[in-house]
Chains A and B, each alone.
Chain A
Amino acid sequence: MYGYLGIDVGSVSTNLVMMGEDGAVKHSIYLRTRGKPIEAVQAGLKMMKSALPSKIQVAGVGTTGSGRHLAGVITGADIIKNEITTHAIAASNVVPGVQTILEIGGQDSKIIILRNGVVADFAMNTVCAAGTGSFLDQQAFRLNIGIEEFGPLALQARVPVRIAGRCAVFAESDMIHKQQMGYNVEDILAGLCEALVRNYLNNVGKGKEILGPVVFQGGVAANAGMKRAFEKALETEVIIPPYFNVMGALGAALLAREATSRKKTDFYGFEVAEKDFKAGGFACDGCPNICEVVEITESDRVIARWGDRCGRWSDVLEQKEKIS
């Protein structure tokens, strides 16, 4: 039995997916990255190995997310792909004919527009917190609401409160104000969802033509209040795929299947989880660019470097991983 492994390393979460030859998800893992991507990948690999039947053989590995190069280097990935492409591939596999992908994660969000099955346009937000999941987390925390209760409560709202949510800071003070005015918590939560949706559509979705089918994915899609807020704003049905929070990893696995159709995998095996990798770095003083060079070592042997603008450090390595 063959399987394809997809690994998505983001700043907030690290996700792994094992996909069968038929494209079905066999197992998925969602971990916090906690600023230590190597450890997260290794922990994920261990969990994956123990969850799978021993006869499964990894036939291909793909990595994605902001830590895709790192994950690619340590696992021996067959393909390293940006997160826009992997999300688009996964969504169009799960929902054929999808024309719009709304993706909201903890620290970033994106919109991908597809037409005739290919990406036609996209936009990303990596700066403004008011358009990402951390906005909801913060406010839920302030209201003493667990993030799991958030969605169900928001669904009970009757008249969502209008919250000025242009910016996370204003939203917070406005929310406190509304609370003091005696609005009930359900209506406030629903109002927060609507504020986030407004922000998202105004920033990330600016100028994009949103046509159905619309898929909503990323960690925030777990929140039923958000789904409803999107449906209300877009006046159309919003589909949440079964593996909504690991779609990047699923896309990477799909690409790995394609990349290994005519070659053997470069995967180093699950033993990677036991190896001693370290990510270090130094500031080069070769010229006034003072590049922050990232260096990955395996048992004190340098296996990859990047971040140097001139190639002074990355080019000397035999086995180099180019950031294109």
Chain B
Amino acid sequence: MTVKVGIPRALLYYYFYPQWLSFFQHLDVEPVVSHRTTRGLLEKGLRSTVDEACLPVKLAVGHVLDLKDRVDYLFLPRLVSMARREYICPKFLGFPDMVRNTIDHLPPVIDINLDLYHKRSNAYNFFQTLGKMFTKNPARIYLAYRASCQAHGNYCKELESGALPGELKTLANSNGKNGGMADITIAVIGHPYNIYDRFISMDMIKRLFESGVNVVTADHLADSVIRQEAGKLPKQLFWTLNQRMIGAAYHYFNDPEIHGLIHVASFGCGPDSMTGELIERFARSRSTKPLLVLTLDEHTGEAGIVTRLEAFLDMVRWRRNLADVAATL
């Protein structure tokens, strides 16, 4: 019988799943991903968490609950740092402990540190420790690691060439860039676990597709572009994800093919409120592009979001038409 490892469809799943999948498969371990977010799943998470936690963390707990009784291990790596001299939000760090402290009858939790902060640290240490749990053969681990890096590389390339993660990919193909139905392009800036989760984002990306909009996100940009843009900040931000968002926002503000930006923030997320502030400041002082800021929390009404989105698209199109008229004069 193969060993089953549970991966919550939450937090950094949207970045690392292809890599994790490939690694586990090469070691004959079966990765099991939690179900898509539903209201029921979110409510379970809300009931088991403290009020101070941000919505994405509460949701991640819901995904853990969804998995815990059908897997042999829970894979909750402790993500400390994804890049040199950068950290990610401290809530990721505490997540495995929080899960242990709030949920009973858990299968064993794999919470190996992934910490790339220091010069000499690398991801191989992480995968080595992980691999040793399932095989004694170091060569197999090494090969699985290599394959996983390749999978990750391919995934990043796919995103950079315009794909979207997960099931949104198929949607994009029928309606997105290639469909030719879209007349405007909007950049959606936000945490991957907010914008790609169809429930949490109230299916924003699909709604945009259906309204004739091309969607681009930070993940469509090469890391180097993002870093270069974020380098324009007077002070380096040491939170990787927020650096990504700001870098991408700056880039898209200057990209003539982009008609407007939407910043999606989580209520109760410290890093988001800072990112939001920086993006809004930039929009006010250095750009004429429309910006819509949407803050999501568990009480957010769908109707309010839909009204704002509709009004935003009207505004973007209205302004574009005006610019078109001006250009022909």
B39 touches A288 (CB 8 A): yes
Among the listed A82, A117, A207, A288, which residue makes an inter-chain contact with B311, where contact means beta carbons less than 8 Å apart? A82
Among the listed B41, B291, B304, B319, which residue makes an inter-chain contact with A118, where contact means beta carbons less than 8 Å apart? B319
Chain A contacts for B301, CB-based, 8 A: 126
Among the listed A118, A288, A290, which residue makes an inter-chain contact with B318, where contact means beta carbons less than 8 Å apart? A118
B315 touches A288 (CB 8 A): no
A107 to chain B: closest CB distance in Å?
Answer: 12
Classify the secondary structure of A's interface with B.
Answer: loop
Cα(A273)–Cα(B319), bound, Å = 38
Cα(A120)–Cα(B283), bound, Å = 11
CB proximity to A under 8 Å, residues B282-302 = 284, 290-291, 301
Across the interface, name the chain B residue whose C-beta is closest to A206: B280
Question: Among the interface residues A84, A118, A122, A323, which one has the most CB atoms of the partner chain B within 10 A?
Answer: A118
Cα(A81)–Cα(B317), bound, Å = 14
Chain B contacts for A287, CB-based, 8 A: 38
Across the interface, name the chain B residue whose C-beta is closest to A117: B322
Among the listed B199, B203, B308, B315, which residue makes an inter-chain contact with A119, where contact means beta carbons less than 8 Å apart? B315
Interface residues on A, range: 20 to 34
Q: Does B224 contact A (CB under 8 A)?
A: no
Cα(A194)–Cα(B211), bound, Å = 41
Cα(A324)–Cα(B308), bound, Å = 11
Cα(A288)–Cα(B199), bound, Å = 12
Chain B contacts for A290, CB-based, 8 A: 39-40
Q: Does B303 contact A (CB under 8 A)?
A: yes
Q: Does B210 contact A (CB under 8 A)?
A: yes
Chain B contacts for A81, CB-based, 8 A: 310, 314
Q: Does A12 contact B (CB under 8 A)?
A: no
Q: Does B101 contact A (CB under 8 A)?
A: no
Chain A contacts for B103, CB-based, 8 A: none
B304 touches A126 (CB 8 A): yes
Among the listed B38, B290, B306, which residue makes an inter-chain contact with A323, where contact means beta carbons less than 8 Å apart? B306
When each residue 67-93 of chain A gets 1 if its CB lies under 8 Å from chain B and 0 otherwise, what string results? 000000000000001111100000000
B229 to chain A: closest CB distance in Å?
Answer: 23
A72 to chain B: closest CB distance in Å?
Answer: 13
Chain B contacts for A324, CB-based, 8 A: 207, 210-211, 306, 310
Q: Does A309 contact B (CB under 8 A)?
A: yes
Across the interface, name the chain B residue whose C-beta is closest to A80: B310
Cα(A229)–Cα(B311), bound, Å = 28
Chain B contacts for A322, CB-based, 8 A: 210
A289 touches B207 (CB 8 A): no
Cα(A248)–Cα(B131), bound, Å = 62
Q: Does B307 contact A (CB under 8 A)?
A: yes
Chain A contacts for B39, CB-based, 8 A: 288-291
CB proximity to B under 8 Å, residues A98-124 = 116-122, 124
Chain A contacts for B319, CB-based, 8 A: 118-120
When each residue 128-167 of chain B gets 1 if its CB lies under 8 Å from chain A and 0 otherwise, what string results? 0000000000000000000000000000000000000000
CB proximity to A under 8 Å, residues B187-232 = 199, 203, 207, 210-211
Among the listed A84, A118, A121, A289, which residue makes an inter-chain contact with B38, where contact means beta carbons less than 8 Å apart? A289
Q: Does A66 contact B (CB under 8 A)?
A: yes
Across the interface, name the chain A residue whose C-beta is closest to B314: A85
Across the interface, name the chain A residue whose C-beta is closest to B307: A82
Q: Given the known inter-chain contacts A66-B303, A117-B322, please indicate yes or no for A124 contacting B315, CB distance below 8 A.
A: no
Among the listed B38, B207, B307, which residue makes an inter-chain contact with A66, where contact means beta carbons less than 8 Å apart? B307
Cα(A82)–Cα(B308), bound, Å = 8
Question: Among the interface residues A117, A288, A289, A323, which one has the most CB atoms of the partner chain B within 10 A?
Answer: A288
Chain A contacts for B284, CB-based, 8 A: 207
Cα(A12)–Cα(B262), bound, Å = 30
Chain A contacts for B207, CB-based, 8 A: 324
B290 touches A288 (CB 8 A): no
A-side residues, CB < 8 A to B, are: 66, 81-85, 116-122, 124, 126, 207, 287-291, 309, 322-324
8 contacts between A and B (CB under 8 A): A84-B310, A119-B314, A119-B318, A119-B319, A120-B290, A121-B290, A122-B315, A322-B210
16 additional A-B pairs beyond A85-B311, A290-B39, A324-B211, beta carbons within 8 Å, are A66-B307, A81-B310, A81-B314, A82-B307, A82-B310, A84-B310, A118-B322, A119-B318, A122-B315, A124-B304, A207-B280, A207-B284, A288-B39, A288-B41, A289-B40, A324-B310
B-side residues, CB < 8 A to A, are: 38-41, 199, 203, 207, 210-211, 280, 284, 290-291, 301, 303-304, 306-308, 310-311, 314-315, 318-319, 322
6 closest cross-chain pairs (CB), A and B: A288-B40, A84-B311, A288-B38, A119-B315, A82-B310, A85-B314
